[in-house]
Amino acid sequence: MEQKIRRIGILTSGGDAPGMNAAVRAAVRTCIQNKVIPVGIRRGYQGLIHADVLEMNARSVNGIVDQGGTILYTARSEDFMSEAGQHRAAQTCRYLGLDAVICIGGDGTFKGALALSKQGVKVMGIPATIDNDIGCSHYTIGFDTAANTAVEAIDRLADTMQSHERVSVVEVMGRHAGHLAVYVGVAVGATSIIIPEFPYSFEHDVIEKIREGRMHDKHHHLIIVAEGVGKCDEICSRIADETGLEARVSIIGYIQRGGAPSARDRVMATRMGHFAVEQLLAGQTNQVVCYRDSHILLTPIDEALEMKKSLDAYMYRVAGEVAL
Ligand code: F6P
């Protein structure tokens, strides 16, 4: 007979993302509505190994829907990488009486959740990463806020760079994926967007575009570089050498991961947190909550980890074609 769910653990792991708190809040409150005890696990899988937990109630998540970061803290746990660590984490779940664990984060978090499920713990993943690089879901919590933060910063930068007629080389976060860089690049009207997924010709995609722009009376150029490509200083020096224009590097960095979540992230996180608990109570386990074609649904966690999200080639082409 299927074991009844009485206590659900909730953790956030990996890089944080604005909206994680809203997901925690929704999961906690949905537990309470269904007479299930929500247990907050601090510092991700590391906290799970060490039973660093707190029993939560409806009031523990008061006033966090609009807060960035995560009240549960987050970590990238070395100890949990080993099978011994995973075994200990599963033992803690049994000792604490956790019937399931909701794991909020990105790809690394889901790999951890899969490992935990192999130790006999029921898990449910919720995608939250500013990189939006989870294959099974068209959207990940935090992406919208991070994109808006980057756009606001670059708009400010553009004002001063325009006055000085300079070229800005701006690094946007995303170690392995260029989704954020492309989206932000389109929103700020970038001259070029350099991402890890597609090869680029420095001469054709950067230098010629800047020269063309100059001929059409353009006084400022934005070159957006995804963190995964890096080398902003080198790109900047080459631009200055080959065009004779002044160029400056700006790395937006961790600012993109902070701040109050946008309405979209709050709503998406609330829907996903609610759905995760509801589905666990309906008997679903070892799944990732996904957003596809306006619907929230589930994908088995092992399949989710096999799915790769390809970059929106159409959007990338549009960005290039409107950058004159
Ligand atoms: O969470 C994703 C991400 O923000 C990437 O964009 C970035 O490359 C990475 O995390 C940074 O991680 P850390 O916090 O470990 O420096």
Nearest atom within ligand 1 for CA of residue 106: 1
Residue with CA nearest ligand 1 atom 10: 15
Alpha-carbon gap, residue 282 to 60, rounded angstroms: 25
Instruction: List pocket residues of ligand 1, CB cut-off 6 Å.
Output: 14-15, 106, 129-131, 173-175, 227, 257
Nearest-CA neighbor of 170 among 249, 106, 245? 249
Instruction: State yes or no: is 66 an active-site residue.
Output: no
Q: Name the residue of 74, 104, 109, 131 to mutate for ligand 1: max ligand atoms within 8 A of Cβ.
A: 131
Categorise residue 30: left if φ over 0, alpha if ψ from -120 to 50, beta otherwise: alpha
In this prediction, residue 1 carries a pLDDT of: 53
CB-based contact 100:123 (threshold 8 Å): yes
Nearest-CA neighbor of 270 among 128, 76, 119? 128
CB-based contact 243:210 (threshold 8 Å): yes
In this prediction, residue 200 carries a pLDDT of: 87
Name 96's Cβ contacts closer than 8 Å, sequence gap at least 6.
Answer: 7, 9, 39, 51, 53
Concatenate the DSSP letters of all residues of 126-183 into one string.
EEB-TT---TT-S--BTHHHHHHHHHHHHHHHHHHHHHHT-EEEEEES-SS--HHHHH
In this prediction, residue 2 carries a pLDDT of: 63
Residue with CA nearest ligand 1 atom 2: 15
Matching residue, tokens 């803690």:
92
Query: Which of 52, 99, 107, 131 is flagged as catalytic?
Result: 131
In this prediction, residue 8 carries a pLDDT of: 98
Nearest atom within ligand 1 for CA of residue 254: 4
Nearest atom within ligand 1 for CA of residue 76: 15
In this prediction, residue 189 carries a pLDDT of: 95
In this prediction, residue 324 carries a pLDDT of: 77
Residue with CA nearest ligand 1 atom 8: 175
- Consecutive 10-residue averages of pLDDT for the chain (324 residues): 86 97 98 98 97 95 98 94 96 97 97 97 98 97 98 96 95 94 97 92 93 90 95 96 96 97 98 98 97 97 96 92 86
H helices within the chain, ranges in order? 20-33, 44-49, 83-96, 107-118, 143-164, 179-188, 208-215, 232-243, 263-281, 301-306, 313-322
Q: Which two tokens stand for residue 177?
A: 């994926």
In this prediction, residue 216 carries a pLDDT of: 87
The H or E element that residue 296 is part of is strand 295-300
CB-based contact 271:141 (threshold 8 Å): no
